[in-house]
Amino acid sequence: MSPDMRQMAKCHTFYLPEQSPDDSTPTSAMSEAYSSLLKSIQRVIHQQGFDGSAPQSKMRNVLRLGLHSLGSVLWGDDLFCRESPTHSHSLTTFLYALRALLRSSLSVAMVTVPSHLIQSRVLMGRITRLSDTAIALESFRGSEKETNPLYKDYHGLLQVHQVPHLNCLVCEVPDTKDLAFKLKRKQFTIERLHLPPDLSDTVSRVGKVELAAGCGSTATGNKHLDF
């Protein structure tokens, strides 16, 4: 985003160390950091007129929320630091409340979670089910795929774990789940993963003797017919 466009856009930020402590009694199922974040989002929705239950005085666009690294130590979470975290249900409780808030307002949210740090597969399953769309990015950096010539045109894989299924019984199944991404200077491109054909010299030829004998009675010795 260019500096001029960023100045024209009306942005709201949330910085946890600058938030004043809440005098109200915090809920036991949600940490103080997530509680403050949820109240900040509610305040912006009500003050800026994005509340769906209130009459709209003028045409409104959609409020776009970006919440980064939820579940990490940046939010005071300890999901991956201990075997028995203090706030084991804090993140999922926040996502429940955020989901209900978005349903009743003109708002959408993109949430990122460091899944490589969270070891609990049960918790990751709950986070996925609480999302309308869930995708995962797998980078090739530092892995064997980085030097694999099959993936030389890509920088990583994009895995689709869940797609939206609002107001329907079953969700739409995408045509393919084999997606890859590449990074350019100003673009993040997602493409279908097309692997090149295997043109190696070690092509398997099964039943060479039967093939040579079946093509003609003149085939003798160890000579084989190649096509």
Residues 20 and 124 in one domain: yes
8 Å CB contact between 95 and 123 = no
Task: Determine the average pLDDT of the residues in 40-45.
Answer: 93
Residues 113 and 57 in one domain: yes
Residues 127 and 32 in one domain: yes
Residues 150 and 88 in one domain: no
Strand pairing category for 134-139 and 188-192: unpaired
User: How confident is the model at residue 221, as a pLDDT?
Assistant: 52
Residues 155 and 55 in one domain: no
Residues 67 and 137 in one domain: no
Residues 10 and 76 in one domain: yes
R_g over Cα of the chain: 27
Q: Is residue 212 part of a domain?
A: no
Of residues 130, 135, 136, the one with CA closest to residue 94: 130
How many domains does one find in the chain?
Answer: 2
CA distance 5 to 18: 26
Picking from 131, 166, 182, the residue at the C-terminal end of a domain is: 131
Residues 118 and 165 in one domain: no
Write down the mean pLDDT value for the chain: 79
- Whether residue 215 is predicted with pLDDT greater than 50 in this model: the reply is yes
User: How confident is the model at residue 206, as a pLDDT?
Assistant: 46
Residues 70 and 35 in one domain: yes
CA distance 153 to 105: 41
- Among the ranges given (18-27, 77-86, 99-108, 168-177), the one the predictor scored with the smallest mean pLDDT: 18-27
Residue identified by tokens 């093939």 is 211
Q: Is residue 220 part of a domain?
A: no
pTM of the model: 0.74
Residues 163 and 153 in one domain: yes
Q: Which domain holds residue 170?
A: 133-196
Alpha helices in 104-131 (DSSP H): 121-129
- Whether residue 223 is predicted with pLDDT greater than 90 in this model: the reply is no
User: How confident is the model at residue 1, as a pLDDT?
Assistant: 64
Alpha helices in the chain (DSSP H): 3-8, 32-47, 90-103, 121-129, 208-215
- Among the ranges given (51-55, 61-65, 114-118, 207-211), the one the predictor scored with the smallest mean pLDDT: 207-211
- Whether residue 11 is predicted with pLDDT greater than 80 in this model: the reply is yes
Picking from 131, 147, 166, the residue at the C-terminal end of a domain is: 131
CA distance 63 to 56: 14
Residues 18 and 104 in one domain: yes
